[in-house]
Amino acid sequence: MRMYDVIKKKRDGGELSTEEINYFVKGVTDGSIPDYQISALCMAIYFKGMTSRETCDLTFAVRDSGDRLDFSEINGIRVDKHSTGGVGDKTSLVVAPIVASLGVKVAKMSGRGLGHTGGTIDKLEAIDGFQTTLSDADFMKQVNDIGFAIVGQSRQFAPADKKLYALRDVTATVDSMPLIAASIMGKKLAADDDCIVLDVKTGSGSFMKTVEDSKALAKLMVDIGKSAGKKMVALITNMDRPLGRAIGNSLEVIEAVETLQGKGPADFTEVCLTLAAYMLSLAGKGSAEECRAMAEKAIADGSALKKLIETVGAQGGNKKLIENPATFAKAKYSHAVKSVRDGYIGAVDTEAYGLASLALGAGRNTVEDEIDYSAGIILKRKTGDFVKAGEEIATLYSCNKQSFARAEEILLSATEVCKDKPAEEPLVYCIVE
């Protein structure tokens, strides 16, 4: 088989066979196919798409490109949730403790942020001492003992995706539905969970800009998961604005803790409760409505917060930071971004908000970049809120004072201030089962 012929077939709109897809992914993994040919096929897929059969084959080949986890030593149903990536998306820090506090096991592997979206592992590393690597034995013991453990992805986990994603990122081929589905589901299926809830983001801060595209992506991923024997559900959630008010690692951990204390922002709390309800329901705890009530109670009675504190302690993190989030290290400098006119906050470019946070030092442009865990943004006004000229829209935090000018410029040009109050948009558009 020749890679040239595989590229040409897809370029001309052909359907690749299982053998051709396996040949491609094997060559990506062992380095025998050069980057320019991998990139060329990604571009051909971007333009010509893939059938569901091809997408399933690509997903399974990505899953099988490295180690597959065996969670059989974990007692009970294991449930995971995965977000397609957004700005201010700290839901894992809230939903996993809720679900674990209600007796369902959460054995979670999470990623780091790259580009405008944050990553759960970076947020956890904002907690002093928190270990994001555990041996398989310690990981499973922790899940059995306290119901929840969370680690980063090891190098041998779906290595084909690592290579593919790095090349897609620099060849403008990230936002292709079959490539996203195979990337996300390849990794999810390499882990050994029984049930998966997908949080498919839609809008200006996500890869899928329209609800229709997000639904199609969700359906594709749900079908792939089901064909691999998993219980699946996907929620289409709003990313036309950041989730909650905090963007940036320690700021988001603080907001997650406040949410578990029952004091979180309404939009973020609502999305967390809905995700937790579907995770519990897939795990057989009752209907989505019953499970939502259970999730609300786990926040109200403090058991979910207790579970987060227990997990942080078990993974070497400083529990005192979670017990009293006011003790998190503060950024050296802060800066108020003020509105130049009166009006309602209208449409915002959520991706640009993520980029503003990146400019402050909260994320990485390359994998080698160091993060300023205290950097980020607290939004004082969000879409639909009224603001007067001179009033604060957001507070910026950073240890690098020079970064404020650029971040402010990005934020202001990403925020529309308009005369009329914008129509309310749903937080959860629909459920794909």
User: Residue 395: which H helix or E strand, with range?
Assistant: strand 392-398
Stretch that binds ligand URA, among 46-54, 61-69, 179-187, 287-295 (CB under 6 A): 179-187
Compute the least distance from the CB of residue 158 to ligand URA, in Å.
9
Closest CB to ligand URA among residues 209, 335: 209
Q: Hey, what amino acid is at 319? A: K
Closest CB to ligand URA among residues 184, 294: 184
Enter the tokens of residue 191: 């882990």
DSSP 216-270: HHHHHHHHHHHHTT-EEEEEEEE-SS-SSSEESHHHHHHHHHHHHTT-S-HHHHH
User: Among 16, 25, 74, 180, which residue interacts with ligand URA (rule: CB under 6 A)?
Assistant: 180
* Annotated catalytic residue, options 183, 214, 250, 374: 183
Q: How many CB atoms lie within 10 A of CB 423?
A: 6
Q: How far is CA 292 from the centre of its chain?
A: 21
Closest CB to ligand URA among residues 142, 173: 173
168 annotated active-site: yes
Compute the least distance from the CB of residue 186 to ligand URA, in Å.
9
338 annotated active-site: no
- CA 405-369-36 angle, 5° bins: 110
Q: Are 123 and 93 in contact (CB under 8 A)?
A: yes
| Binders of ligand URA in range 75-104 (CB under 6 A) | 84-85
* Site of tokens 């013991």: 141
Enter the tokens of residue 209: 């800009």
Crossing angle (nearest 10°) for helices 249-260 and 92-101: 30
User: Among 29, 142, 183, 206, which residue interacts with ligand URA (rule: CB under 6 A)?
Assistant: 183
Compute the least distance from the CB of residue 328 to ligand URA, in Å.
28
| Binders of ligand URA in range 204-233 (CB under 6 A) | 207
For 80, 88, 135, 217, the CA distances from 244, given in Å and listed in that order, are: 22, 6, 34, 24
Task: Tell me: does residue 363 bind ligand URA (CB under 6 A).
Answer: no
Task: Tell me: does residue 118 bind ligand URA (CB under 6 A).
Answer: no
* Binding track, positions 10-49, relative to ligand URA; x by CB under 6 A: ----------------------------------------
Compute the least distance from the CB of residue 207 to ligand URA, in Å.
6
53 annotated active-site: no
DSSP state, residue 418 = E
> How many Å from the N-terminal Cα to the C-terminal Cα in the chain?
39
Enter the tokens of residue 72: 């059989």
* Annotated catalytic residue, options 80, 161, 199, 267: 161
* Binding track, positions 158-177, relative to ligand URA; x by CB under 6 A: -------x--------x---
Separation between Cα atoms, residue 63 and residue 320, nearest integer Å: 38
Q: Hey, what amino acid is at 348? A: V
Compute the least distance from the CB of residue 180 to ligand URA, in Å.
4
Task: Tell me: does residue 184 bind ligand URA (CB under 6 A).
Answer: yes
Compute the least distance from the CB of residue 184 to ligand URA, in Å.
5
Compute the least distance from the CB of residue 188 to ligand URA, in Å.
9
Q: Does the CA dihedral 279-281-287-291 come out positive or negative?
A: negative
**DSSP SS3 for 326:** helix
Crossing angle (nearest 10°) for helices 3-11 and 18-30: 130
User: Residue 345: which H helix or E strand, with range?
Assistant: strand 343-348
Compute the least distance from the CB of residue 31 to ligand URA, in Å.
21
* Annotated catalytic residue, options 105, 108, 187, 215: 187
* Site of tokens 């207790």: 306
* Annotated catalytic residue, options 168, 215, 307, 381: 168
Residue nearest to ligand URA (CB): 183
Q: What phi and psi values does residue 147 have, to the nearest 5 degrees? A: 95, -10
* Annotated catalytic residue, options 10, 82, 163, 245: 82
Size of the site for ligand URA (CB under 6 A): 9
Closest CB to ligand URA among residues 156, 261: 156
- Torsional class of 279: left (φ above 0), alpha (ψ -120 to 50), beta (otherwise): alpha
Closest CB to ligand URA among residues 180, 283: 180
Q: Which residues are catalytic?
A: 82, 161, 168, 183, 187
Q: Which residues bind ligand URA (CB under 6 A)?
A: 84-85, 165, 174, 179-180, 183-184, 207
